[in-house]
Amino acid sequence: MTSKFIKKSAIQILIIIGSIALISLFSEIRQTANSNSLAQIPRFGNPPPNLLKPPKPQILPSGAPTPSPKPPEQPLVFAPPAQFRSQIVYKASISDSKVIALTFDDGPTAETLQILKILQKHKAVATFFCLGANLRENPEIAKRVVQAGNAIGNHTWHHFYHNVTEKTAADEIDNTGVHIYRSTGAKSLLFRPPGGRLNNGFADYAKKKNYVVVMWSIDPKDFSQPPAAVIARSVLSQATSGAIVLLHDGGGDRQQTVEAVSAIIPKLKQQGYRFVTVPQLLQMQASQKQQTADQKPK
């Protein structure tokens, strides 16, 4: 009994020792395997080896043009032909077509928007001489003026009538020009002196800067707010080809002018007139003069 028990106990001890040995062996094998696997993983931040290879150069087809950078867009410029720079104009000399230029001073204002609707309805355009102070207050209206195909001009900042120094004239005109560009993206060499005064310093500075000084040949005196019918009758009775009409979209209540414009445009169109901007009007005169010169016998 005792001998059998001793033999059985010895066998169990041997089995336990063998199991411990096997477990120890397997543990060493796993540790070695894990150590080898970790050695193959790049450290944090290092890309895999295949990403370190330089990219293959892109081969363009033979004859394929090299892409060129898109040229910067040039700003829109409202300018007369060169012969009108630094000059004063009252109207254009045009005999081969019936054209007329409506101009509006002292905006942009709420009335400007009403006038734009009338122009658009009749597929007509005009020229707007803006005050810098109003451009600062209503830049979006000025932008719509240009977007609708109209021209824009400089009417100084404050609309002073009195004599000014060259520095004041420069400040008034240059700052207005800056706001024309900021609000519309356009530049303009069209200038109209406040009140049409040519001897108080503004016109001299404008001519020095190559502006064309745009006056007018028809003045219905809408600034004094006569009835719309009076304004319309005055314009219609004086209309001639090449005329420049003075009207106002600012400087007071301009509802009479708005109503007059809605009557003037369709009636003049019935007479065969087309409405153009001041730069277009002057370009037509220049082209007609050149055409006449070309037709003369040599």
**Domain count for the chain:** 1
Decide if 260 is inside a domain: yes
Q: Is the pLDDT of residue 27 over 70?
A: no
Q: What is the C-alpha to C-alpha distance for residues 252 and 143, in angstroms, rounded to an integer?
A: 22
Q: How far apart are CA 294 and CA 298, in angstroms?
A: 9
Model confidence band, residue 75 (pLDDT cutoffs 50, 70, 90):
confident
- Please answer whether residues 150 and 127 qualify as being in contact, where contact means their C-beta atoms are separated by less than 8 angstroms: yes
Question: What's the confidence (pLDDT) of residue 71?
Answer: 55
* Helices of type H across 122-270: 132-137, 139-147, 166-184, 202-208, 228-238, 255-270
How many residues in total does the chain contain?
298
Which tokens hold the place of 123? 């597929």
pLDDT at 73 over 90: no
* Inside any domain, residue 252: yes
Predicted TM-score (pTM) of this structure? 0.76
192 occurs within a structural domain: yes
The total of other beta-carbon atoms located within 10 Å of residue 14's CB is 10
- DSSP output for 25-66: HHHHHHHHHHHHHHHTSPPTTPPPGGGGSPPPPP-PPTTPPP
User: Euclidean distance between the first and final Cα of the chain, in Å?
Assistant: 151
Whether 274 is in a domain gets the answer yes
Cβ contacts of 108 within 8 Å, gap of 6 or more: 128, 130, 134, 135, 138, 141, 142, 145, 249, 250
Is residue 52 situated within a structural domain?
A: no
In a domain, 244, yes or no: yes
Burial class (CB in 10 A: 0-12, 13-18, 19+), 116: buried
For residue 284, being part of any structural domain is answered with: yes
- Residue 217 in tokens: 């040949």
Can you tell me whether residue 271 is helix, strand or coil? coil
Phi, psi (degrees; rounded to nearest 5) at 272: 95, 10
Has residue 1 been placed in a domain?
Answer: no
User: Which amino acid makes up residue 107?
Assistant: G
Q: Which of 55-64, 167-176, 243-252 has the lowest mean pLDDT?
A: 55-64
DSSP line for 56-104: PPP-PPTTPPPP-PPPPPPPEEE---GGGTT-EES-----SS-EEEEEE
pLDDT at 19 > cutoff 80: no
**Looking at the annotation, which residues are catalytic?**
105, 248
118: domain range? 76-295
Distance CA 282, CA 127 (A): 13
Write down the pLDDT at residue 42.
34
3-class secondary structure for 273-291?
A: CEECCHHHHHHHHHHHHHH
User: Residue 195 pLDDT more than 80?
Assistant: yes
Amino acid 4: pLDDT = 54
- Three-state DSSP class for 247? strand
Q: Using CA atoms, how far apart are residues 146 and 200, in angstroms rounded to an integer?
A: 29
Hey, what are 202's tokens? Answer: 């503004």
Find the mean pLDDT for residues 147-157. Answer: 99
CATH number at residue 253: 3.20.20.370
Pair of tokens at residue 55: 């990219």
